[in-house]
Amino acid sequence: MPENRKRNEEGGGFFERVAQHPSARRWILIGGIAGIALIFLSSLFSGQGQTEEIKSNTGQQVVSAQDYALSLQEELSALISQIEGAGEAQVLVTLERSAEQVYATEGRSSARAESGGSDEEEETTYFSVRGSDGSEQALPVTEVQPVIRGVVIVCPGGGNPAVAERITRAVTTALDLSSARVCVVQAK
């Protein structure tokens, strides 16, 4: 105990001793600046991926519903053709609706009571961002992908119940659909 008091009275605490040496302060300052620089650099590199996502959500790379369906058809056709017993498959994908952009909004509602009734008003305001060229666009929050209505698969092995079951399981798993939305038939 008396030894600790003696250190405190002499200014012998570790941090106090480090603070008294100019070279130690310099190294602490350099280490702090290096840490801040590393944090800054990591935010720059992680920010690049976010910028690419935003660009794809602003409509620069939006895929039409027809292109989306055609792409799915090609991918499913290649996948199904690899299933044992299926043969060369033709696939038709139908969509309920196309892709939708969901934009950032702010809503306000007000109610007025008039004689004999009430009147309610709602106002929706879209947040917008100004581009580097000065144009304003609504701020997209997310893009909702098209909803798949159904899938029809025509292949030589479609008449075999075991093959049809494997194809149905593959498609329902790949697209997260119920089996009621998938039809497998045999080609002529």
Last residue of a domain, one of 5, 36, 57: 57
pLDDT confidence of residue 24: 79
Rounded alpha-carbon distances, angstroms, from residue 169 to 102, 150, 172: 32, 14, 5
3-state secondary structure of 88: coil
Residue 10 phi, psi dihedral angles, 5° rounding? -85, 0
Pick the most confident of 17-21, 58-62, 90-94, 107-111. 90-94
Considering the domain architecture, whether residues 154 and 90 belong to the same structural domain is answered as yes
Average pLDDT over residues 80-102: 87
Residue 99 has pLDDT above 50, yes or no: yes
Considering the domain architecture, whether residues 171 and 93 belong to the same structural domain is answered as yes
The boundaries of the domain holding residue 171 are 65-99+145-186
Residue 155 lies in a domain: yes
Considering the domain architecture, whether residues 50 and 18 belong to the same structural domain is answered as yes
For residue 85, give the DSSP letter: T
Per-residue pLDDT tens digits for 107-156: 666 666 565 556 667 777 777 777 778 777 777 777 777 888 999 999 99
Tokens of 184: 């497998």
Considering the domain architecture, whether residues 27 and 87 belong to the same structural domain is answered as no
Per-residue pLDDT tens digits for 146-182: 888 999 999 999 999 999 999 999 999 999 999 999 9
Rounded alpha-carbon distances, angstroms, from residue 161 to 38, 86, 151, 186: 60, 11, 17, 10
| Domains of the chain: total | 3
